[in-house]
Amino acid sequence: MSEWVAIAEVLKNEDELVSHINNIDQLSEKELELKSFYKQQINFLKNEYKEKKITKNELLKKLAETKEVYQIYHKKMQDFLNLNYSLAIWEYQQSNVLKKDLDYLKLKKDYLKKMQAIKNHDDQKLVTKKLKKDYQILKKTLPAKYIIIIAIISTIGLLLAGLLVNYLYYFKIANNGQGFSFKNQNHITAFVFVCIGILLIFSFLIFVVRNIIKRIFLDKDENLFKTASIGFAGAFTDTIGVGSFSITVATLNATNTVKNVKKLPGTLNLGLTIPNLFAGTLFVSAIQVELVTLITLVIAAMFGAFFGAKLVSKVDKKFVALFVAIALAIAGVLMILGQTGIFNNIGTKGLTGWRLAVGIISFFVIGGLQSFGVGLYAPALAIISLLGMETIVAFPIMTCASGFAMPTTAWAFHRDNNYSPKVSIGLLIGGIFGSIAAFFIVFVGIQGGIGIKMDNFTYYLKWFAILVMYYAAFTLLKKYLNLKKATENQTLKVVENYYQIYETDFLKMFEQKLQSISQLEILDQEIFEQKIFENNINLLLWR
C-alpha cells in the first residue's frame, strides 16, 4: 500500500468514525428529550386524575398505553445507539491499525513543508487550520489499553506510597507527636474512613476501566498530556486546601478543552473523583471532629451530589454556564472572607440540635453544587465556621465530603453521556500525581521537614486561587452570553398537556411527538446492520 493510499484510508476511516460519534451525541440528547417528554405527560395524566377529570381505571389504562408506546421508541433509540457505538469502536480500532502503516517522519516533513509554502497565501489562517486538522487526525493516539495500565499502576502505586509515608512518618506530625494507636477512638475512626476511602478508590477505578475507558474515542483528539497537566495543577491546589474546581474550570476554558459547556460538570466530577478520594484518604488520619457530625455531613453531601447530577442533565447549556459562573463568584466572596480571618473560630468540634440540622441541609446543597462543577471547599469552610465549629476540623470534613460525594454522581453522568471521557481520564491520571506531589512536597517536606506552617504557605496561594476563580466565572459568563445570543431568536418551548388538548387522539398525537423527537427516519438502520454483518463486528451495548 502506497503512502497516499494509506493516508486516504485513514482519513476515510476517521470521517466515518466522526459520523458515528456525532450520531451517538445526537441520539443521547434525543433520548434524554424523549424521556423528559414522556415523564411530563405521565405527570399531566396523574394531575388529571387528582382533579377528578378521569377515573382511576382510565388513568391506569392511559399510563399503561403511554408506557408501551414510549418503550417502543426508547428501544429503537437504544438499538441505534448500540449500532453506532459498536461501529465507532470498530472504526477507532481500525484507525489505530491503519496508522501503523504511515511513515511519520515523512508525514511531519511534508506537513512542515506545506506550512512553509502557505506563509503568503491569501487564506493563510483557513489553510493553516485545515493542514493542522489533517495532521492531527493522522497522528497516532495512545491505545486505550495503555491508558488503562497507566491509570491502574499510578493509582495503586501512589496510593500505597502515600499511605506508607502517612502512617510511618506524617501521622505523628499531624497528631502533635502522638503515634497511631488502636486504643485511641479518633485514630480508629480515622482508620475506618481510610478503609472506606480505599474501597471507594478501587471501586471507582473498576468503574473507569469497565466503562469510561471504552468511550475514549468520543473525544479522542484531546491531548492526554495536556489534560493530565490540568488535572495535576487542580489536584495539587485541592490537596493543600485551596480547591480544585476553580483552577481546573479556568484552565479547561482557557484551552477550550471541553467544548460543550454542559459536559463540564460531568467531566470535572468523573475526572477528579480519585484525586479527591486520595486527599480524603491521606489526610483523614488527623480527625479531631465528633463522629456524628462528620458522618452526617458527609452523607448529606453525598445525597446532594447524587440529586445534583440528575438535575444537571435536565437543564440547558446556558443555565449551566450562568449558574456555575454565579456560584464561583459567590464562592470567591466566601474565600475572601476566609482570608480576612472572619472564619477563624475557636469553637466546638461537633454540632448538635438545630445547628446539626442546618449543617446537614447546607452540606446537601453544596454537595449538589459540586455536581454543577462548583468546588465544595470554600462554602464548606464558611458553613462550618458560621455554625460555631473550630476551623481546624474543616479539613477532614471537606476532603471526605468532597471525595466521598463524587462517586455517587458517576453513573448519572456516564448514563447520560454528559462528560468528555478522555479529558476525564487525563484529569484522573494527572490528578493522582498532583495529590501525591502536594502531600510529599508541602505536608511531608515543607511542613514536616522544614517546619513551616501550612497557613503561611497557602495564604498567598489562596489569593491566586481567588483570582483564578473569578477568571473562570468571567469566561463562563462570556459563554452564557454567546449561547444566549445564538438562541435568542429561537421560539420558547412550552410543554403541552397532550391529554388535555387531544383527549381521544392523545395516544396517536403522543406517538407522533415521540417520532418527531427521535427523528429515527434520518438514520438507515439497515446500512448499519449490513456494515456490522460484513465486517463481523461484535454488537456492543451502549450502556
Q: Would the pLDDT of 344 be above 60?
A: no
The answer to whether 343 and 337 are in contact (CB under 8 A) is yes
Q: Would the pLDDT of 332 be above 50?
A: yes
Handedness of CA 247, 251, 254, 258 (dihedral sign): negative
Q: What is the pLDDT of residues 436-459, one digit of tens each?
A: 998 888 878 876 666 656 555 556
pTM: 0.79
Q: What is the pLDDT of residues 137-161, one digit of tens each?
A: 777 778 888 899 999 999 999 999 9
Q: Would the pLDDT of 378 be above 90?
A: no
Look at residue 369 in the predicted model and tell me its pLDDT: 74
Q: Which of 93-107, 291-305, 337-351, 382-396 reaches the highest mean pLDDT?
A: 291-305
Element containing residue 461 per DSSP (H, E): helix 454-487
- DSSP secondary structure code for residue 314 in this structure: T
- Percentage of the chain lying above the pLDDT 70 cut: 82
Q: Would the pLDDT of 528 be above 60?
A: yes
What grid cell was written down for 307?
440529586
Which one has a higher pLDDT value, 366 or 319?
A: 366
508 pLDDT band, cuts 50/70/90, is very high
What is the C-alpha to C-alpha distance for residues 359 and 417, in angstroms, rounded to an integer? 33
Look at residue 64 in the predicted model and tell me its pLDDT: 94
What is the C-alpha to C-alpha distance for residues 166 and 94, in angstroms, rounded to an integer? 46
Q: Would the pLDDT of 1 be above 60?
A: no
The answer to whether 212 and 421 are in contact (CB under 8 A) is yes
- Rounded to 10 degrees, the C-alpha dihedral 478/261/379/199 comes to -160
202 pLDDT band, cuts 50/70/90, is very high
Q: Would the pLDDT of 492 be above 50?
A: no
Residue 37's Cα: distance from chain center in Å?
A: 25
Q: Would the pLDDT of 324 be above 70?
A: no
The whole-number average pLDDT for the span 272-281 is 86
DSSP secondary structure string for all residues of 134-173? HHHHHS----HHHHHHHHHHHHHHHHHHHHHHIIIIIHHH
The per-residue b/e assignment along 293-304, b for 16 or more CB within 10 angstroms, e otherwise, is bbebbbbbbbbb
Q: Pick the range with the lowest mean pLDDT from 60-64, 144-148, 403-407.
A: 403-407
201 pLDDT band, cuts 50/70/90, is very high
Q: Which of 265-274, 386-395, 489-498 reaches the highest mean pLDDT?
A: 265-274
Look at residue 130 in the predicted model and tell me its pLDDT: 74
Q: What is the pLDDT of residues 279-301, one digit of tens each?
A: 878 777 655 667 788 888 888 98
Q: What is the pLDDT of residues 112-126, one digit of tens each?
A: 787 777 776 667 777
What is the C-alpha to C-alpha distance for residues 392 and 455, in angstroms, rounded to an integer? 11
Q: Would the pLDDT of 177 be above 80?
A: no
Amino acid letter, residue 85: Y
What is the C-alpha to C-alpha distance for residues 385 and 381, in angstroms, rounded to an integer? 6
Q: Would the pLDDT of 468 be above 80?
A: no
Q: Would the pLDDT of 85 be above 90?
A: yes
Strand partners, 389: 348
Look at residue 59 in the predicted model and tell me its pLDDT: 92
The whole-number average pLDDT for the span 206-228 is 88
SS3 415: helix
The whole-number average pLDDT for the span 246-274 is 83
What is the residue-averaged pLDDT of the chain?
A: 81
What is the C-alpha to C-alpha distance for residues 220 and 18, in angstroms, rounded to an integer? 10
- Percentage of the chain lying above the pLDDT 90 cut: 22
SS3 389: strand
The whole-number average pLDDT for the span 303-313 is 78
Q: Would the pLDDT of 39 be above 80?
A: yes
- DSSP secondary structure code for residue 348 in this structure: B
What is the C-alpha to C-alpha distance for residues 352 and 291, in angstroms, rounded to an integer? 12
Look at residue 491 in the predicted model and tell me its pLDDT: 47
